[in-house]
Amino acid sequence: MIKVGIVGAGGYAGVNLLGILLRHPKVEVKWLMSEPAHKGKSISGLFPHLKNNCELVCETLDDLDKNLSSIDIVFLALPHGIALNYVPRILKAGKKVVDLGADYRFNDEAVFKKWYQIDHPDKKVLAKAVFGSPELYKNKIKKASLIGNPGCYPTASILGLAPLVKNGLIDLDSICIDAKSGVSGAGRGANLKVHYCERNEGVMPYAVTSHRHMGEVEYQLGRVAGKEMAVTFVPHLIPMTRGILTTIYAKLKGKSEKLKALYKLFYKDAPFVRILDIEPCTKYVVNSNYCDISVAYNECTNTVIVMSAIDNLIKGAAGQAVQNMNLICGYDETEGLTGLAVYP
């Protein structure tokens, strides 16, 4: 039984993390932190679905130091640029960190700065962070003390592309990622962009050439490829709450016959990746930790089409964070994560 604390419990990723951990057989949640406006409030007041299941009261980051001794692992679910001010001291206190934010997803401070316009305060810590993609770095994760949990779009994009990139099967200059996300990816903060009436019954692209997750995909796929690379990445807002679908286009090099077998082989030890015979639908994965992938090939245009679906808040955030925690703790990778999709 390990003890954990959650920072950022008042957000959608945070509360999903809490929900998973409350049902995890080997975890005890000791405390929760959220923004100052939530201080002193019961988490079940912020999220009434938790009534009778968790009556922890929110603290804030000001209470972090005094609370570190009671836990083994800290989960951070914060907007970018905050975690990096706290992580070094948490590590120094001998605690492990799973950061669901963006601050430790790049080991290279220059690349981080390019995309986030922030100087990283401690490059040594940054260099030690392990990118928390269990399908790519399981052994490193097991030994890590600091995990940069992948972003939601990058999770779907990288899992969709890694087998092709690793095996040199596509023209790296030709990759286009068309990503579709439910609105929960924008977080719980209120603004016009997430107003029900502005999102309902409409689909739109945004940040067409500038989304920060494009940088994460390029950096992490570049590590897989062994060289620098760029991708076209266009995210879209879809009128639904949860789920990401990426549809990925690339020019094939070599033969198309064995693409599916290649994916099955690449992910043979990945319990949460399913290679489908049909098109994926986000409904098949909502509230589960699965990433469903399907591959097709348009022979007239010599284009391989990869489709991947995740729940942005589970495999794209909280579930993958727990999967990383399981690996760090030596637990079975699937512990606490066996929930099936809600259907319909």
Q: Which of 1, 69, 124, 192 binds its own copies (CB under 8 A)?
A: 192
9 binds its own copies (CB under 8 A): no
CA 232 to chain centre: 20
One of 284, 289, 293, 319 touching its own copies (CB under 8 A):
284
What distance in Å separates the CA atoms of residue 13 and residue 318, rounded to the nearest whole number? 6
Does the protein bind its own copies through residue 211 (CB under 8 A)? no
- Residue tagged active-site, from 152, 176, 281, 291: 152
Query: Does 26 participate in binding its own copies (rule CB under 8 A)?
Result: no
- Least Å distance, CB 28 to its own copies, is 16
Tokens for 103, please give them.
């601050």
Nearer to its own copies, 109 or 178 (CB): 178
Q: Which stretch binds its own copies (CB under 8 A): 114-122, 144-152, 189-197, 328-336?
A: 189-197
Using the rule CB under 8 A, which residue among 57, 118, 270, 296 binds its own copies?
296
Query: Applying CB under 8 A, does 110 fall inside the site for its own copies?
Result: no
Q: Minimum Å distance from CB 128 to its own copies?
A: 29
From CA 152, how far away is CA 182, in angstroms rounded?
Answer: 11
Under DSSP, is residue 6 helix (H, G, I), strand (E, B) or coil? strand
Query: Is residue 208 within the footprint of its own copies (CB under 8 A)?
Result: yes
Task: Say whether 58 sits in a helix, a strand or coil.
Answer: strand
Quick count: other Cβ atoms within 10 Å of Cβ 253?
15
User: Quick check: 34 binds its own copies (CB under 8 A)?
Assistant: no
User: What is the side-by-side order of every strand in the sheet holding 58-59?
Assistant: 58-59, 27-33, 2-7, 73-76, 96-99, 146-148, 130-131
Burial 19-35, CB ≥16 within 10 A → b, else e: bbbeebeebebebbbbb
94 part of the interface to its own copies, by CB under 8 A: no
| 291 annotated active-site | no
Residues 165-184 that bind its own copies (CB under 8 A): 173-176, 178, 180, 182-184
Q: How far is the CB of 268 from its own copies (least distance, A)?
A: 13
Nearer to its own copies, 117 or 209 (CB): 209
Contact flags string 222-251 toward its own copies, x per CB under 8 A: --------xxx-x-x-xxxxxx-x-x-x--
What residues pair up with 292 in beta bridges, in sequence order?
274, 309
From 1-9, 30-38, 79-87, 196-204, give the range in contact with its own copies by CB under 8 A. Answer: 196-204
Q: Between residue 313 and residue 342, which ones bind its own copies under the rule CB under 8 A?
A: 338-342
Q: Does 127 bind its own copies (CB under 8 A)?
A: no
Burial degree of 226 (CB within 10 A; 0-12, 13-18, 19+): exposed
**With binding defined as CB under 8 A, does residue 279 bind its own copies?**
yes
- Between CA 300 and CA 303 the distance in angstroms is 8
Q: What is residue 253's three-state secondary structure?
A: coil
CB of 193 to its own copies, least distance (A): 8
Look up residue 64 and give its two tokens: 């972090």
Select from 148, 54, 133, 108 the least CA-distant residue to 291: 133
Active site residues: 152
